[in-house]
Amino acid sequence: MTDIDGTSPPYLRNRYAIAGIGETTYQRGYAPGEERTTRSLATWAVGNAMADAGLTAADVDGMLSYSGNDSTFSPFVAGDLGIRLNFYMDCFGGGSSTEALIGIAMGVIEAGMCDTVAVFRSMNGFSQVRIGGTGARAAAPVSGDALHGRAYGWGSAGQMFAPTFMRHMYEYGTTPEQVAAVKVAHSRHASNNPKAFYRQRVTVDDVVNSRMVCKPLHLLDCCVETDNATCVIVTSAERARDMRQPLVTIRSVVGRCSKPRLDMHYQHGPITRVAGYYAKDILWPNAGVGPDEIDITGSYDAFTFTTMLQLEDYGFCAKGEGGDYVSSGIIELGGGRPNNTSGGHLCEGYTHGMSMVIENVRQLRHDIDDSCPAGPDGRRQHTYDYSEGGCRQVRDPELTANLGWAMPATGSALVMQKGW
């Protein structure tokens, strides 16, 4: 591997690792009597990540979480698991938080504040607080800054992002069919993911014929809302090397990098430009690699359009050519650079980004949890047959890039590497 810019400071390149990953099931509602609180979900996800890394409560001393006032807090989860914390913080935020908090975890460990940080996101995103603002929140009074937004029936993510998406179609001739290819690809990936909520493969026609939610977004251009928790454990590469799993290190991280005029970002165009335009200038020099060297992307798919826009602005294709890129087959398993091999938020489940990092950790460990048969050593023997119900392990990936999205004007990113 060669650095594209030998003069750039490497910062903490390859000195930190994702040592553990944990999830609950991805589900949409509960059977009566089976309901779980966000505290219970988080306790399961963090516990699963500790088990994955081979850690006990005494080995974890830091905790970070993010939420939109819809979740439990670190003290409850740490208490439930018997963890005594040297550091914790519960942050406000949704998409783009995962990568940002991984960066914060690296910083607090580097500062000597703690050694090993569990980062979690726990949400009853279907059963309790729905991200689109539906349910009881829809009828809440309009106040303060919302007079410039919700007063106009302009409040859900799809409604707020639509002007970016529409302008992209106008300026570059991007078609609904091209963008629908993102859902098609992710549905094919999900069909090989036993834990995905939506495992049925769909076609471009299925997407463009599904009901219109908010032009240009059909129902199938939008992600699913689910109940689940996820966790990643961050520690130094030195420590991670001695833990249970194959080493996956962090080459570069960007947290909530933003466009100008964040208060009302449409004032500062081009409005088809998203935060990745700025984030790429931190991500790639610090990683010492460029988009051409990335084997797998995890471009956040709150909507089909968000995947496409970020792939453009991070330089995986030229600006305006995202429609061609995502409909070329390259983002599918078996293609040159698959995106969201788990099925992502469009199909697997909605976790505000963390599940996409978890999937890429599994890819780099070469240990994807598909239906391939286990060999004599207990590990799956991947077939690389990507037909329905088959394999979803990419052959020997070395580098992945996660592109997290909060909104058009804010994003985060993470380049991970197999080994160091």
Partner 1 sequence: MSAMPQGTHLGMPVSIDDLDRENLAYFRSCAEGVFRLQRGRQSGLLRYPPTTACPWTGDREYDWVEVEPRGAVYSYAEVHHAIQPSFREHSPYLVLLVELDTQRGEPTEHEALRIVGNLVTADGALAPPEVVAQVGIGTRVRMVFNPVSDDIAIPQWTIDETVEQPVPWRYPE
Only one of the segments 52-60, 83-91, 153-161, 309-317 lies at the binding site for partner 1 (rule: CB under 8 A); that segment is: 153-161
Is the separation of the CB atoms in 235 and 116 below 8 Å?
yes
CB of 322 vs partner 1, minimal distance in Å = 17
Choice among 88, 300, 325, 386 that is catalytic:
300
Query: Could you say which of 16, 26, 325, 350 is catalytic?
Result: 350
CB of 134 to partner 1, least distance (A): 5
Q: Which range touches partner 1 (CB under 8 A), out of 167-175, 188-196, 249-257, 377-385?
A: 167-175
CA dihedral 338, 271, 405, 128 (to 10 degrees): -120
198 is catalytic: no
Q: How far apart are CA 266 and CA 273, in angstroms?
A: 10
Stretch that binds partner 1, among 113-121, 208-216, 242-250, 297-305 (CB under 8 A): 208-216
Q: How far is the CB of 260 from partner 1 (least distance, A)?
A: 8
Q: Which of 151, 200, 281, 388 binds partner 1 (CB under 8 A)?
A: 151
The least distance separating partner 1 from the CB of residue 266, rounded to whole angstroms, comes to: 5
Contact 319, 309 (CB under 8 A): no
Q: In the complex with partner 1, which residue's Cβ is closer, 269 or 329? A: 269
Nearest partner of 122 among 219, 17, 59, 48, judged by Cα: 48
Integer Cα distance of 247 and 341 in angstroms = 20
Q: Is 325 helix (H, G, I), strand (E, B) or coil?
A: helix
Alpha carbon distance 107, 238 (integer Å)? 16
Nearest approach in angstroms of CB 127 to partner 1 is 18
Contacts of partner 1 in 242-301 (CB under 8 A): 260-261, 263-264, 266-271
Shortest CB 213 distance to partner 1, Å:
4
Q: Report the nearest approach of partner 1 to the CB of residue 58 (Å).
A: 46
Q: How many whole angstroms from its chain centre is CA 40?
A: 22
Among 2, 9, 32, 211, binds partner 1 (CB under 8 A): 211
Please list, in sequence order, all residues whose beta carbon lies within 8 angstroms of the beta carbon of residue 351, skipping any fewer than 6 positions away.
26, 121, 123, 226, 228, 229, 230, 345
Q: Give Cβ neighbours of residue 322 (< 8 Å, ≥ 6 apart).
A: 168, 172, 174, 308, 309, 311, 312
Angle at 263 between CA 312 and CA 155, to 5 degrees: 80
Near partner 1 by CB under 8 A: residue from 37, 40, 127, 175:
175
Contact between 148 and partner 1 by CB under 8 A: the answer reads: yes
Lookup: tokens for 105: 């975890």
Region of 214-222, 285-293, 312-320, 351-359 interacting with partner 1 (CB under 8 A): 214-222
| Residue whose C-alpha is closest to residue 341's, from 313, 382, 374 | 382
Check binding of 141 to partner 1 (CB under 8 A).
yes
Q: Supply 228's token pair.
A: 């689940």
Q: Could you tell me the two tokens for 277? A: 């335009």
Interface with partner 1 (CB under 8 A), residue total: 48
Q: Pick the binder of partner 1 from 47, 68, 133, 390 (CB under 8 A).
A: 133
152 classed as catalytic: no
As given in the structure block, the two tokens for residue 45 are 């996800």
Q: State in Å, rounded, how far the first CA of the chain is from the last one.
A: 11
Q: By CB under 8 A, is residue 154 in contact with partner 1?
A: yes
CB closer to partner 1, 153 vs 376: 153
- Which residues share a beta bridge with 27? 227
Q: Does 214 bind partner 1 (CB under 8 A)?
A: yes
Question: Where does this chain bind partner 1 (CB under 8 A)?
Answer: 132-134, 138-139, 141-145, 147-156, 158-160, 162-164, 166-167, 169-170, 175-176, 211-216, 260-261, 263-264, 266-271
Positions marked active-site: 300, 350
